[in-house]
Amino acid sequence: MERLIKGHKKFLAEVFPQRRDQYHLLAESQAPEWLFITCSDSRIVPDLILGTGPGDLFISRSIGNVVPVTMNDVDGVTATIEYAVDVLKVPHVILCGHSDCGAIKAALNRQGLDKLPKANRWLQHVEAAFSHRQPLNPDDGAHAELCSLIRGNVVAQLKNLRAQPSVARALLEQRLAVHGWYYDILSGHIERFDEDTHRFVPLIG
Ligand SMILES: [Zn+2]
């Protein structure tokens, strides 16, 4: 905990004073432009890789960047989506998967989930990834198979995202765009899912 307390002291001393006006504005309201749905993985730091800051990204995180569609009971992800789309009226939703995702590894080897009843049930939503596997990419080396499934999971969850009532409505009203991304931890690069070709292409061409 010491490290966090030290970090917070540094924030109060060095960061906050420089952004006082911005925080003053943000204290009353928010108008984020993006709902960012990603994995809980500690290596994904959205503000760092996208150059964003306070007030920019409305974020939903869960293992495997899942968007459940078949659960009857309420869950945090879909409630967050509904709020972002219907109340905050974000114009963009980005669903971002990443390389070396433990959730997808677990989906490949379900025995490891035997003692994790909640994670096991949650990751059933990842099963759909298998039917959306992407072509193997030689750049992914020994992890090509895992990476193709991770990209497939982005496509699967994107489909689930579009099926959310609030999202479907906003898409119909043409006030929302949805995007599927894959973030490679090793290179730092992001790929986007191209809806026309159904393939992932570099975000920066
Ligand atoms: Zn992950």
Give one DSSP letter per residue of 76-92, joined into a string: HHHHHHHIIIIIS--SE
- Whole-model pTM: value is 0.95
Give one DSSP letter per residue of 146-183, joined into a string: HHHHHHHHHHHHHHHHHHSHHHHHHHHTT--EEEEEEE
Q: Could you read off the pLDDT of 108-139 as tens digits, one per residue? A: 887 788 889 989 989 999 999 999 999 999 99
Separation of 38 CA from ligand 1 center, angstroms? 8
Out of 24, 73, 75, 98, pick the active-site residue: 98
Note if 96 is an active site residue. Answer: no
Q: Which residue has the tokens 């497939």?
A: 152
Contact assessment for residue 33 and residue 94, using Cβ atoms and an 8 Å cutoff = no
Separation of 21 CA from ligand 1 center, angstroms? 35
Separation of 96 CA from ligand 1 center, angstroms? 10
Q: Could you read off the pLDDT of 17-38 as tens digits, one per residue? A: 999 999 999 999 999 999 999 9
